[in-house]
Amino acid sequence: MQWFADAKLGIFIHWGIYSVNGIEESWSFHNKKISYEKYMKQIDGFTANFYNAASWADLIKESGAKYAVITTKHHDGVALYDTKQNDLSLVKKSLAKRDLIAPFVKELRNRNIKVGTYFSLLDWSNKDYPEFLKDSVRYKLKSDTLRWQRFQRFCQNQIQEISTQFNPDLFWFDGDWEHSAEEWQAEKIRKNILVHNPNAIINSRLQGYGDYETPEQNFPVTRPDFKYWELCMTTNNGWGYRFDDTDYKSVDEIISIFTDCIGNGGNLLLDIGPKEDGTIPLQQQNILKELGKWIHQNEEAIYATVAGLPLGHFYGASTLSKDSSTIYLFVSGKNSGDIVIKGLDAKIKKVSVLGTNEILKSKIVGKISWSNVPGLVFIKMPENAGQRMSVVKIELARKLKLYHGKGGY
Ligand code: FHN
């Protein structure tokens, strides 16, 4: 898990037949917004004509991400790789006529970017899968266990194909909510993955047999008490390409969310949705490039750091060096004037702004001679605080010690 904890940023990719009309992935037919037949007809419009796995991998590298997670099969059951378990794949049924996962995996590996494969356990297209539309099931699992076992073999064979063909560093399961760990044979799925690759890590969506938590779109307010966790989030409102969704988060908003994640000890898995032809919407390209520029300038405060000051010590996100002798404060770009740290019980050696040669002044305020409660640390921010978030580096004379008390007399 160490590479995952140090990585901080991953890029999520939702690509599939839903990218043709730019509608909601799988849910649009499941929730009966469109007929299943009409939804599946999109397969005829999927071309991947301009798909260039190398340029995708370059963009991911430029974003500062250390891993990428791509959909190998969403809930609609359409595989993006050459599955032998059925003929429902873009290789066999679409104009793309090629495996779309293998070239991407190769390009990621060439750039030392860790490979994650998204796989939906549920498969609303498979005739042996009980659930189908929001208000209809094909059969009750308990009434036809042989049919469910047939689906289980299909599902586990596809997972095995992904293991052997791509040897992913990370399995990102989804869709586990419709059945129990026992019904999914989750323990067996985990075991088979680790037999093939003992270093593979698995997300939480395997009914309790995963390695890290995956809050989605909902930002934690209190620090999650999971050892490892990752917030997955869209750049606009859709996971896959949406023709009508221009409601993008700004780069500054994404930087703020990203620093909040890493300050609380988690990762951000930021999603993009390429079009059916393999082109990535310009707004998403711009977000990844601008995010990457900011990360590159401040990487010392990002990769291989750990969660920062607990709530109450600093009104913002922060991270710590692993030896806790350095604090990194994330300060909104619009901020000028003082920032304050409370309860810092350690001598400050130097305060600077990352990516610049600015040295900042700090002042201890309110330290009482007869009390061991530390004073407040006021740091004057430069007037010309840049457009993007700044990172204030505080080098301490020794390991960090914090006063958590309620004051006293
Ligand atoms: O149902 C899916 C959804 O389509 C999307 O893939 C997200 C991404 O994490 N996961 C599920 C919803 O939790």
Dihedral, CA of residue 254, residue 255, residue 256 and residue 262, to nearest 10: 110
Here the CATH number for the domain that contains residue 356 is: 2.60.40.1180
Are 50 and 58 spatial neighbours (Cβ–Cβ below 8 Å)?
Answer: no
Residue 353: domain span? 305-396
Q: Which two tokens stand for residue 345?
A: 């019980």
* 159 and 84 belong to one structural domain: yes
Here the CATH number for the domain that contains residue 156 is: 3.20.20.80
Non-local (6+) Cβ contacts of 55 within 8 A are none
In-domain check, residue 409: no
* 268 and 374 belong to one structural domain: no
Residue 219 has a pLDDT of 87
In-domain check, residue 408: no
In-domain check, residue 105: yes
Reference 7, options 313, 270, 329, 254; nearest CA is 270
Atom of ligand 1 at shortest range from CA of 27: 4
Atom of ligand 1 at shortest range from CA of 74: 6
Are 74 and 14 spatial neighbours (Cβ–Cβ below 8 Å)?
Answer: yes
Last residue of a domain, one of 268, 297, 326: 297
User: What contacts 24+ positions apart, CB below 8 Å, involve 54-61?
Assistant: 54/107, 56/13, 56/104, 56/107, 56/274, 56/280, 57/104, 57/107, 57/108, 57/110, 57/111, 57/113, 58/111, 59/280, 59/285, 59/288, 59/289, 60/11, 60/108, 60/111, 60/113, 60/288, 61/111, 61/113
Rounded distance between C-alpha atoms, residue 9 and residue 11, angstroms: 7
In-domain check, residue 243: yes
Report CA(174)–ligand 1 centroid distance (Å). Answer: 7
Last residue of a domain, one of 297, 320, 336: 297
Rounded distance between C-alpha atoms, residue 99 and residue 91, angstroms: 6
Sheet holding 337-341, edge to edge: 337-341, 376-381, 362-365
* 363 and 270 belong to one structural domain: no
Residue nearest to atom 1 of ligand 1 (CA): 175
Angle at which helix 102-110 crosses helix 53-63, to 10 degrees, equals 40
* 73 and 139 belong to one structural domain: yes
* 23 and 123 belong to one structural domain: yes
* 136 and 231 belong to one structural domain: yes
Atom of ligand 1 at shortest range from CA of 25: 4
Residue located via tokens 């750091």: 305
Residue located via tokens 């810092």: 344
Look at strands 306-307 and 318-320 and give their pairing. antiparallel
In-domain check, residue 402: no
Are 12 and 272 spatial neighbours (Cβ–Cβ below 8 Å)?
Answer: yes
Q: Which two tokens stand for residue 194?
A: 């680790």
Report CA(386)–ligand 1 centroid distance (Å). Answer: 36
Say how many domains are in the chain. 2
DSSP letter (8 states) at residue 235: S
In-domain check, residue 407: no
Using CB atoms within 10 A of its CB, is residue 378 exposed (0-12), middle (13-18) or buried (19+)? middle
Residue nearest to atom 6 of ligand 1 (CA): 239
Low-confidence spans in the chain with pLDDT less than 70: 384-386
pTM exceeds 0.85: yes
Ligand 1 binding pocket mutation candidate from 124, 134, 239, 270 (most atoms within 8 A of CB): 239
Rounded distance between C-alpha atoms, residue 133 and residue 321, angstroms: 49
* 233 and 287 belong to one structural domain: yes
Q: Which two tokens stand for residue 199?
A: 């270093």
Last residue of a domain, one of 235, 270, 297: 297
* 284 and 245 belong to one structural domain: yes
Report CA(382)–ligand 1 centroid distance (Å). Answer: 42
In-domain check, residue 99: yes
Helix (H, G, I), strand (E, B) or coil at 105: helix
* 238 and 278 belong to one structural domain: yes
Non-local (6+) Cβ contacts of 286 within 8 A are 251
Residue nearest to atom 10 of ligand 1 (CA): 174
Atom of ligand 1 at shortest range from CA of 14: 6
- Write out pLDDT tens, residues 349-400: 999 999 898 999 999 999 999 999 999 999 999 876 668 999 999 999 999 9
What does the DSSP assignment read for 341-394? E-SB-S-EEEEEETTS--B--EEEES--TT--S--EEEEEEPTT--SSPEEEEE
Residue nearest to atom 7 of ligand 1 (CA): 239
Ligand 1 binding pocket mutation candidate from 174, 177, 235 (most atoms within 8 A of CB): 174
* 317 and 259 belong to one structural domain: no
In-domain check, residue 35: yes
* 283 and 380 belong to one structural domain: no
Residue 409 has a pLDDT of 77
* 325 and 256 belong to one structural domain: no
Pocket of ligand 1 (CB under 6 A): 25-27, 174, 216, 232, 239
- Write out pLDDT tens, residues 252-268: 999 999 999 999 999 99
Phi, psi of 400 (to 5 degrees): -60, 135
